[in-house]
Every structure is written in structure tokens, then in C-alpha cells.
Amino acid sequence: MLERIRIVLIGTSHPGNIGATARAMHNMGLSDLSLVAPRGEPITADSVSRASGADHLVHAARVVDTLEEAVADCTLTVGASARSRTLPWPMLSPRELGDRLPQELAGPDTRVALVFGREDSGLTNAELQRCHAHVHIPTNPDFSSLNLAAAVQVLAYECRQAWLTAEPAAADEAQAREPADALAPDLALASHAELEHYFAHLERTLVAIGFHDPAKPRQLMARLRRFTLRARPERMELNILRGILSDTEKLAPPHERR
Amino acid sequence: MLERIRIVLIGTSHPGNIGATARAMHNMGLSDLSLVAPRGEPITADSVSRASGADHLVHAARVVDTLEEAVADCTLTVGASARSRTLPWPMLSPRELGDRLPQELAGPDTRVALVFGREDSGLTNAELQRCHAHVHIPTNPDFSSLNLAAAVQVLAYECRQAWLTAEPAAADEAQAREPADALAPDLALASHAELEHYFAHLERTLVAIGFHDPAKPRQLMARLRRFTLRARPERMELNILRGILSDTEKLAPPHERR
């Protein structure tokens, strides 16, 4: 699914933003980048540096003259817009866009373009009107201008979220390829009986050290139970806690021991 | 709600990333930025330029020496982690984090810190173990290193989404003027500083009773931290636990006391 999502940047001024866009795309598993009439050479020291290892996407980017060429084979074209202008258009939130992607990309010949405008002026009305829908990233109304690569990052993140949700098998595989835990926990939760043995040991120890008087309970054991149970203790954790109790008991004055 | 979410950057090398972080924050309506031991002066031409109009957040940023100082008053501390390491810790996705925020920030004295590590090496294990939970942004396993400001952008976006979702509900709730929940517990959660005082007291006591040898830590304190933080202790519960520690310490052999 992700390989059929194309990021289209129109009239980008700063090559650094193209590199940062490539990094954001590659981080989220997108690979198809098209540049429409970039202002200046896209491959510069700055764009390669900001790509930070994803510069192969910049090198592989298709450079074309018009939006039409960039999205000719796309079955859904969505333009990123700071707000709806002139003529209201179907408007999606990033999450709604993500929710639609699995269905939009179900067929093998489908392809989605996400189109981003110029750093200073965004997409023109003519460009916006070539899109099926617009996507608006909700922002602080007092400071709504997102960095270009940051906007790509948010939408690419929603694309990956949609993919992880729609293709759990693929998601599991991707997850499995992330570095494994060095020390997996013994995730065996303590049983009810083990917990009760622990609470009995705890109460016995608190009496022995003189902290607790069962004749004046003041909800003490209830509070310690609530705290402990909230954490859902693992068996190994109870073993540690019981070890502490045993060492504490040994220090208690003999006449207090039971 | 958003004003009580703090972004904490630790050991940032590139001032440009601090500026880009400020821009991402302001775009999403966040304003509280803390810098822990930044490597070099945070206010430079590059950081101001990348902030692109949000440089007042860089100027207002609190600069401190340690993570503890940065999050002392926070009731929930979440560390951004590329993966779980050494000792697995409660792990959230960015969306799960967002879903939790309205409830976490319901009380007036609550404050959430989102902690981000160094550009090259992230957060240390010691830093990660000071967090209640870790948040992992799902990425391409072949290219998982997100730019620092891009990671802040994704989490700040989820914060804003959560706020936009929660706000109408909160407004409705205020409208209904429901009586306060009589059954609600005293939800004064312990602050980070209170938790750290407790952990210091716990370690001191375990050494005093001979249970713990800091020269052979065997992950003991990490395991006890994980267990305790999972329960989200209330202030009153920590007071009980510290009372137990104080009475235990008194019983320790004098030569072991510190």
C-alpha cells in the first residue's frame, strides 16, 4: 500500500526542505517523490545533509514541469491546504485521509498523490481545484504555517498508521524486524494465591518492625493492596519484594517477631 | 490542557533543531519548552531562523542541568524511545499517548512532560528509567531515526488532536455542571521530585539492610522503579511507603547506615 502513495512537492524554494521531506518519507516507509518545477537544483549539499541517509529518494525523484504530469496516473489526488479558499472543496483531516487510504488503494492500479505547495504561498487555486479533496492539518490559528517537511511528516505518519491498521500481518513483520529486546521480561503475572502470600508476608513484617498495629488498622493494608494491585505485579517482582521483606524481618527486635 | 504539556529536549547538539522544535510546538499550540544541558548556545541565527516566527518559545525556554530539574513538577513523564531497551517498560504509541492526555491532564495540578533525547544517541537507560512510560513512533525498520523536530511534530500533532477531540466533551461537561464525583479517590498524584526522593530513600534503605549492593545492581532499582511507576503512586501512598522505609532504616545495623 505505502509504495503507491506519491508525495508531490510544487515549486519548492529550499533544497533543504526536499531533503527533510525525503527523510520524513523514508522514516514512514514512503518512497515515491515527484518534484514539480523546483526553484533551483534539488540535489545540493543541504538537501543531502537534511535527508540524513534518505538522499536516494531525492536522487530518484521525478522532476516534471506541471502538476498534471506529476499526478497523471493517480486515482486520488489530495492537496494539502492551510484553509479552504475561494470555492469550498471536500475537506479531510489527516486522520480521515488515513482512514480512507486502505480502501482507495485496494485495487492494484490505484495510486494516491499527496500534493504540497510552495513554502511561502502554498498551492494556487488552480492547483487546489485539480485535487479530489483537500487535507488540512489542524494548527494553532495564531501560527498556522507549518514547515513543508513537517507537514509531509504528519501526513506520512498518518499513512503509516493507516497501513499498520489495515495490514496487521505486514505490520507485525515490520515490528519483528525492529531490534529485539535485549532482556525480555518474565511477563508471568503473579497469581491470586501468590499475591495473598505476599500481602500476608507484608503485614507480618510491618507488625514486626512496629509500623503496623492490627488493632488500629487505619486502612493501611487496604491502601497497600490497592497500590500494589494497580501495578499488576509480575511474579519476579513479587519475589524481589518478598526478598526485601525477609531481610527486613531478620532485623526486627525478637520480641516483636511472630 | 495544551499549556500543561512540556516538551523537554536533552543534550541537543544542533540549535537549528531547537528552533524547528519551537515551530512545531507553536504550530500545535504547545508553549512550554525546557532544555536540559544543550550542547552549545540555544539561541543562534540558525535556531531563530528555523523557528520561523516561534523564536519566542526558544527565548522563553527554561535551561537546566538535569532531567530531574526539568520534570520535577510533572505528574506524568513520557520518554520518546526508538525501541525498548534492556529492561522493557510500559510502551505507548503516539495515538495511545494522545488518548490518555485528557484524563491525565484533567486535574489542575497535573503536568505532562514529553522527553526527547540527543540527536545521535537518544535517551540513556537511566533517563528512560525515570519515565512512567515510553512512546515509540512507528517507523520504517530500515530507517528508523527520525529528525528530532519531526518526532516532536508527530507527538505535538497527537497532543493537539487529543485536545480537539476532548474540548467539546469538556465544554459539554461544564454545561451540565455535574456534581463532583463523590467516589473519586484523592487523586493527588506524586510529582516526579517526590518519586525521586522516594526512590533515593528506597535505595538507601535497601543498602542499609544489606539487600542491595550498588556495586552489583542486577537491575534491582530499575525493576523496582518500573513496578512503582506502573502503579502511578498517589502522594499519600508514597508517604506510607516512606514511613515504612524510615522505620526499617532504624532497625538497620549501625555500620550499614548511611
Asked which of A177, A209, A225 is the last residue of a domain, the reply is A177
Q: What is the pLDDT of residues A59-117, one digit of tens each?
A: 999 999 999 999 998 888 999 987 655 566 788 999 999 999 999 898 888 899 999 99
Contact status, residue B157 vs residue A154, Cβ threshold 8 Å: yes
Asked which of B169, B201, B216 is the last residue of a domain, the reply is B169
Assign B188 a pLDDT band (cuts: 50, 70, 90): confident
For residues B148 and B158, what is the distance between their CA atoms, to the nearest angstrom? 16
How close is the nearest chain A Cα to the Cα of B249, in Å? 9
Task: List the one residue out of A80, A54, A82, A85 whose CA is nearest residue A143.
Answer: A82
> Could you give the percent of chain A with pLDDT greater than 70?
89
Which of A163, A220, A248, A250 to probe the B interface (max B CBs under 10 A)? Answer: A248
How close is the nearest chain A Cα to the Cα of B202, in Å? 11
- Specify the pLDDT at position B174: 37
Query: Is it the case that residue A165 has pLDDT exceeding 80?
Result: yes
Same domain, A199 and A172: no
Cell 538507601 -> residue: B204
State pTM to two decimals. 0.77
Report the number of distinct structural domains present in chain A.
Answer: 2
Contact status, residue B125 vs residue B134, Cβ threshold 8 Å: no
Q: For residue B182, tell me if it sits in a domain.
A: no
Full residue range of the structural domain in which residue A209 is found: 192-256
- Specify the pLDDT at position B43: 94
How close is the nearest chain A Cα to the Cα of B139, in Å? 5
What is the rounded average pLDDT of the residues A210-235?
86
Cell 504540497 -> residue: A116
Is the confidence metric ipTM above 0.90 for this complex?
no
Which residues of A fall within a CB distance of 8 Å from B150? 20, 23-24, 27, 149-150, 153
Q: For residue A13, tell me if it sits in a domain.
A: yes
Contact B83 A178 (CB under 8 A): yes
Same domain, B148 and B250: no
B148-176 and A148-166 helices, crossing angle to 10°: 70
DSSP 8-state secondary structure symbol assigned to residue A204: H
- Specify the pLDDT at position B180: 34
DSSP 8-state secondary structure symbol assigned to residue B257: -
Same domain, B196 and B238: yes
Which of A137, A144, A153 to probe the B interface (max B CBs under 10 A)? Answer: A153
Which residues of A fall within a CB distance of 8 Å from B135? none
For residues B232 and A231, what is the distance between their CA atoms, to the nearest angstrom? 8
Which residues of A fall within a CB distance of 8 Å from B157? 94, 137, 154, 157
Q: Which three cell numbers stand for residue B138?
A: 512507528
Same domain, A71 and A199: no
Q: How many CB pairs under 8 A join A and B?
A: 151
Provide φ and ψ at B217, rounded to 5°. Answer: -70, -30
Task: List the one residue out of B102, B116, B97 whose CA is nearest residue B13.
Answer: B116
Which residues of A fall within a CB distance of 8 Å from B83? 178-179, 181
Q: How many helices (H) and strands (E) does chain A have?
A: 11, 7
Same domain, B164 and B198: no
Query: Is it the case that residue A258 has pLDDT exceeding 60?
Result: no
Same domain, A98 and A157: yes
Nearest CA in chain B to A151: B153
- Specify the pLDDT at position A174: 65
Provide the CATH number for the domain around residue A211. 1.10.8.590
Same domain, A240 and A158: no
Q: What is the pLDDT of residues B200-225, one digit of tens each?
A: 999 999 999 999 999 988 889 988 98
Q: For residue A182, tell me if it sits in a domain.
A: no
- Specify the pLDDT at position A255: 65
Q: For residue A183, tell me if it sits in a domain.
A: no
Q: Which amino acid, residue B239?
A: N
Q: What is the pLDDT of residues B242-257, one digit of tens each?
A: 999 999 999 988 764 4
Q: For residue B175, tell me if it sits in a domain.
A: no
Contact status, residue B243 vs residue A223, Cβ threshold 8 Å: no
- Specify the pLDDT at position A179: 44
Provide the CATH number for the domain around residue A130. 3.40.1280.10
Q: What is the pLDDT of residues B112-154, one digit of tens each?
A: 999 999 999 999 988 998 899 999 999 998 998 899 999 999 9
CB atoms within 10 A of CB A188: 10
Q: For residue A234, tell me if it sits in a domain.
A: yes
- Nearest Cβ partner for A231 among B150, B164, B227: B227
> Could you give the percent of chain B with pLDDT greater than 70?
89
Contact A251 B247 (CB under 8 A): no
Q: How many helices (H) and strands (E) does chain B have?
A: 10, 7
Contact status, residue A54 vs residue A152, Cβ threshold 8 Å: no
Same domain, B156 and B75: yes
Q: For residue A129, tell me if it sits in a domain.
A: yes
For residues A19 and B51, what is the distance between their CA atoms, to the nearest angstrom? 18
Same domain, B112 and B223: no
Task: List the one residue out of A134, A29, A155, A30 whose CA is nearest residue A87.
Answer: A134
What is the rounded average pLDDT of the residues A184-198?
71
Same domain, B153 and B227: no
Residue A211 CB burial class (10 angstroms; 0-12, 13-18, ≥19): middle
Contact status, residue A149 vs residue A17, Cβ threshold 8 Å: yes
CB atoms within 10 A of CB B178: 8
Contact A143 B224 (CB under 8 A): no
Contact status, residue B105 vs residue B78, Cβ threshold 8 Å: no
Contact B28 A153 (CB under 8 A): no
Same domain, A151 and A232: no
Mean pLDDT of chain A: 88
How close is the nearest chain B Cα to the Cα of A206, in Å? 8
Asked which of A177, A205, A229 is the last residue of a domain, the reply is A177
How close is the nearest chain A Cα to the Cα of B7, in Å? 17
Same domain, B135 and B79: yes
- Nearest Cβ partner for B84 among A181, A220, A253: A181
